[in-house]
Amino acid sequence: MNFESEFRDLLKATGTSRISSSAYDTAWMVRLAGIDGQLSRKGLAWLLDHRLEDGGWGCEEVVYNHDRFISTLSVMIALAKYGANPTQTAEAAKALTRYASKLTLDPAGATVGFEMIVPTLLTEARDFGLDLRSVMSTPLIQGMHRAREKKLQALSGHKITRLVTPAFSAEMVGLQTDLLDIHNIQDSNGSIGCSPSATAFFVMNVKPADAAALAYLHYMANEDGGTPYVGPIDIFERAWVLWNLTLASDASLTNLKKDIEPHLDFLETHWTSEGVASITCLGFKDGDDSSMCYEVLTRLGREIDIAGVLHYELEERFQCYPLEADSSTSTNIHALSALKAGRHRPEHRAVQKILSFLDRTRTGKLFWFDKWHSSPYYPTAHAIIALANYPNGLLSDALCWVINTQRPDGSWGFYDIATAEETAYCLQALVISRRHGWQVIDDRTLEEAVLKGEEWLEAHQEEPYPSLWIGKSLYCPTLVVRSAILSALMLVEQEFGK
């Protein structure tokens, strides 16, 4: 395989925002039947074609209960609104009850906005005559209602605008539409928080049949009728694709310079003293995209102000968004990588702050979970790469965990299946750590592990890829995952001549 040629083709597609469809958001499209029949009909066909064997909806390959619960609940309401099949409704209700009983088993935690959106959806379901008493009575759901009310009280006297993160989950307000600043909540592309579900809610309940919002929803709908949970991911997609590419040799980067430069120009144009957002027209920026953009731009020769990264520094960690309820390990890991790119020495206060945070947040003192990805291999592999030339005891423990969890066939996968994405992350981590002189097993054994993983990955690299990333539901940013796979295969070839 000519990896440079493959990456060149990938770079040509980067920026088109390829992202998998979401049952949760597609169900909101179905609700638009009285406003936009085309979106509704195509969405309904997609939902009926993607129903799970147990009667619910959500990611098929990986069982993640938060994803399946909110997706199934959203679909049930959409079907109830427009005449549901009683048998399907009964089967979905049973599936929903099973998911509810297992919500605490999802190791990376809730999907985005879960505790705010679900109580609103359950109230809607009741109003549509759906009998979900078995779900409503569970302590976790009851506690969620109380948590939602407490958070809404904190908004008292304030309106939700496009400049704050609650806009992304605007559908959570339900009948309380007075919480929205309807004159200052739409983004320039017509969306609400670049979220199809929030935008559909706006079209239905706040500004009926708004032309700009409907134009956004048509733009976001995939050809097969499904709709992703967010988009267009124009900054996020570019930053992560380029980051995976920067792990390759300098020679490869030089050969691809002509294809890389337009993306660097795009990212640099949108850089500010507060960093960047994941999407150009999004009203709120974040620490994760800012750190990745800074590292990519800096490593590839652009001079930008690191203030856009340090803007997210708190007393004990780096934040992804202001006032976030849960911290993100990957955001701190990427901030560490950004500081390394900015030549901050290991003894720098910000570096030491992140190292302490990562030490506190390890699972079993070995690896990390993160709220943006369901697999621990994503943050752990990125941590290993970030830690590679910051001497500390965190890296060797994480490396041991990666090596010891390799499957007999050479692959990796945290859930019931092996995946190309997770295998790619592990190969990236092993090769990069070896380049920096880190060894927790003898070099021959490490080489055998890497080559066995490379052999499996080469045979299983093609789409479709499972949805492992956490949004309002699980999703897959296809080009980002493809770039990680190509990066891993390229690294193995460059390191071992294969």
Q: Tell me the pLDDT tens digit for each residue of 50-67.
A: 999 999 999 999 999 999
Question: Whole-number mean pLDDT of the chain?
Answer: 94
In a domain, 461, yes or no: yes
Report how far residue 299's alpha carbon sits from residue 249's, in angstroms, rounded to the nearest whole number. Answer: 12
pLDDT over 80 at 443, yes or no: no
Task: Please give the structure tokens belonging to residue 57.
Answer: 């909806």
In a domain, 83, yes or no: no
Largest Cα separation within the chain, whole Å, is 65
17-60: per-residue pLDDT in tens? 999 999 999 999 999 999 999 999 999 999 999 999 999 999 99
pLDDT at residue 1 in the model? 78
pLDDT at residue 61 in the model? 94
Task: Please give the structure tokens belonging to residue 163.
Answer: 């400049």
**Average pLDDT for residues 127-149, to the nearest whole number?**
83
Query: Structurally, how many domains does the chain consist of?
Result: 1
**Average pLDDT for residues 201-211, to the nearest whole number?**
96
41-49, long-range: CB < 8 A, 24+ apart: 42/221, 42/224, 42/225, 43/221, 43/225, 43/226, 43/227, 44/78, 44/82, 44/225, 45/225, 46/21, 46/224, 46/225, 46/226, 47/23, 47/75, 47/78, 47/79
- Which residues lie below 8 Å from residue 66, measured CB to CB, with a gap of 6+? 103, 106, 109, 110, 111, 114
- The amino acid sitting at 139 is P
In a domain, 284, yes or no: yes
Measured between alpha carbons, how far is residue 313 from residues 28, 290, 309, 332, 391 in Å?
A: 36, 12, 8, 9, 22
**Average pLDDT for residues 124-140, to the nearest whole number?**
87
In a domain, 377, yes or no: yes
CB 71 within 8 Å of CB 57: yes
In a domain, 36, yes or no: no
Distance of CA 340 to the CA centre of its chain: 24
Of 17-26, 232-241, 320-329, 475-484, give the lowest mean pLDDT range.
320-329
Confidence of residue 391 (pLDDT cuts 50, 70, 90): low
Measured between alpha carbons, how far is residue 136 from residues 130, 334, 401 in Å?
A: 11, 39, 39
pTM of the model: 0.96
CB 163 within 8 Å of CB 283: yes
- Domain harbouring 437, CATH code: 1.50.10.20
Confidence of residue 441 (pLDDT cuts 50, 70, 90): confident
Neighbours of 41 (CB within 10 A): 15
pLDDT over 80 at 83, yes or no: no
Cross-strand partners of 276: 286
In a domain, 53, yes or no: no
- Domain range for residue 306? 3-12+232-496
In a domain, 132, yes or no: no
Question: Taking Cα atoms as reference points, which of 467, 485, 481, 496 lies closest to residue 24?
Answer: 467
152-186: per-residue pLDDT in tens? 777 777 899 999 999 999 999 998 999 999 999 99
In a domain, 39, yes or no: no
Question: Taking Cα atoms as reference points, which of 371, 387, 374 lies closest to residue 333?
Answer: 387
pLDDT over 80 at 84, yes or no: no
Is it true that the peptide bond before 232 is cis, omega within 30 degrees of 0?
Answer: yes
Of 137-146, 155-164, 489-498, give the lowest mean pLDDT range.
137-146
Confidence of residue 87 (pLDDT cuts 50, 70, 90): confident
pLDDT over 90 at 357, yes or no: yes
Confidence of residue 97 (pLDDT cuts 50, 70, 90): very high
**Average pLDDT for residues 67-72, to the nearest whole number?**
98
* Per-residue burial over 184-209, b = 16 or more CB atoms within 10 Å of its CB, e = otherwise: ebbbebbbbbbbbbbbbbbbbebbee
Report how far residue 444's alpha carbon sits from residue 339's, in angstroms, rounded to the nearest whole number. Answer: 33
pLDDT at residue 498 in the model? 64
Report how far residue 92's alpha carbon sits from residue 135's, in angstroms, rounded to the nearest whole number. Answer: 12
Of all residues in the chain, the percent with pLDDT exceeding 90 is: 83
